[in-house]
Every structure is written in structure tokens, then in C-alpha cells.
Amino acid sequence: MLCVKSCTSHPVMNVDLNKYPLDQEMLAFLEKSEQIYPPSNGALAVEENRRLYLKLCESFQAPIPDGIVITDHEIPGRHGPVPIRIYEHQDHRSAVTVLYLHGGGFVVGNLDTHNSICAELSARCGHRLVAVDYRLAPEHVHPVQFEDALDVYLAIDQGHTVLVGDSAGANLAAAICVAQHGSDRRPAGQVLIYPWLGGELYDLESYVSNADAPGLTAKDIEDYRQLRSDGEPHWHDPIYYPLALKEYADLPPCIAFAAEFDPIRDDAVEWINRLKRAGVDATCHYEPGLIHSYLRARHCSEKASASFGRICEAVADLGELR
């Protein structure tokens, strides 16, 4: 099942294994990643960052599952057309739509970087999936990314849409839930994968304990935040940082995934705790031994593979018509 040989087998030299005791599969994944995409990538020149990130993602792409048909389209948006990519099974049509928003710090990533992730997710959860190629910073600063994502959501929603996102994309998914709070166009659910939700506002513990974590550092977060907002973060805007929200009651049910060795790990935990206190059906999966962006490792790490299975189950569960 797993393509362990696609990752190398030598440990990464700059990982403190006493602080971050990664297993050999995750070390091999990290070493292969760092051969292409250097640590502290948030400080790279933007175009170089995007080029290397695309190369990194291409090196971990997997075959498209049998039966999945992929088509590209555009959705009219307030800032111009927004490219989307639709994944659906040729022999199955679902009444549920999954809207996927990719990660990349609002600066990198596109439809190609998450192509096989989206195809596998669609195949395993059994629903049509729509991936969004929202505009990136610094050419387009907040709230353009959110507005692109919301415009696509409102255009494709047919009454039962599950929002899914990883990292910065999870921020956008949660922000859509915030924006649609109290609306009759509320999403059916939200699946947030190592989400970046604004834990900096509350000095959450993981920002300190995992500040130099492999895969993502606190410095990377700062660099991307500056680019996203042209150096002027919208600290208390819940569309920018969903954890700035004051009222959580009646938000859509949520299943979140937190990687143990990730500076933004506690964003997921805090978001779920706040939803629970407000009476929202919410669950957090704490994933031991994993780092930020482990979705790419789903075919070379047993732990990442198991978590991806739980993510697919979460999307399928929230997609059940009720």
C-alpha cells in the first residue's frame, strides 16, 4: 500500500530528535522535502518559493485513482474569474459537494500542487470535490484570498457543501463558516487540516514549544503573515484570524487535525474547544509524531497514511445528508 521507497532513508541532520522524535519514515520524508524545498522557505523570494514548492509537491504526487474524472473551469468572482478544478467519479454522482482550499501560507500553491490529494480525497469520500485556485499574496493581499474562496463557495453550493482546507486553506474554510454564520447558506461542515487560525493572538503553547519545528517554523509563519497583509495584519478580524471570533454558537460541525510537531498545532485544539463550549459538534484528532504538511507523506509514512484515512472518513461523515 505504501510507497516507502519513494522517500530516502537517511536522517535529516538538523532535526533535534530529543525534542522532535520523528520516526524513520517521517525523517526520510523530511529529508527528501528539504533536498528540494529549504527550511525557512517563507523568507525566499516569492517566485523562487513558488517554483520550489511546485517542484516539491510534484515529487510527492501519486497516481489519480481509477474512475476519477478531472475538469478545469472558472467561476466569476468580484476580482475576476477564479479557476477551479472539479473531481468526480465517472459512475457516481453525489448530492454533496466538497470545497477544497489548498495551503501554502497564502503565498504558494495552486491547483497542481494538491492535485493527487484532491483526487484521492474525492475517490475515498465518494463526493464531487471542487478545488479553488484563489489569488495569492503579496500581489493580492487580504481579504482577496477569502473573497475568491467565498465567491466560489456561493457559486457552487447546492445546499450541502463540506469545506476542507489545509493550513492557510483551513483558515479560509473556517473564515467562510464565520462569514456565513446565521445565513441560510451555511456550510454543512468543516474539516480543518493543521489549520492556521490565529493562535498568535493568545500565545498558544505550541508557538513556543514547536517554534523551530521541522516542516514549519514560527519564523515562516511571521514571514507569510507579513506577505499576506502587506505588513499590516488584521489581528482582530475573524475573517483574517477566525480565532478572533467572539461567538461560536451555530457554526457548522467541525473535525480538525493537529500535527504534534507543528507551531500552529494548538490552533486546531483551541478552535475545537471553543466550538464545543458553544454546543457545536466538534472533534480534534491529535496526530502524534507528525509535522506540518504531512498530507504529502501519506504514501511514505504509516502515520500520515492513517491520518489521511481519518481525514477522508471525516469528510464522508460530515457529508452525510441529514
Residues marked active site are found at 167, 262, 292
The 3-state DSSP class for residue 41 equals helix
Sort residue 14 into left (φ over 0), alpha (ψ -120 to 50) or beta.
Answer: alpha
CA distances from 136 to 82, 107, 236 (A): 12, 5, 21
Closest CA to 169 of 201, 147, 193, 188: 193
Is the peptide bond between 143 and the residue preceding it cis, with omega within 30 degrees of 0? Answer: yes
SS (H, E, C) 124-177: HHCCEEEEECCCCCCCCCCCHHHHHHHHHHHHHCCCCEEEEEECHHHHHHHHHH
DSSP conformation class of 281:
-
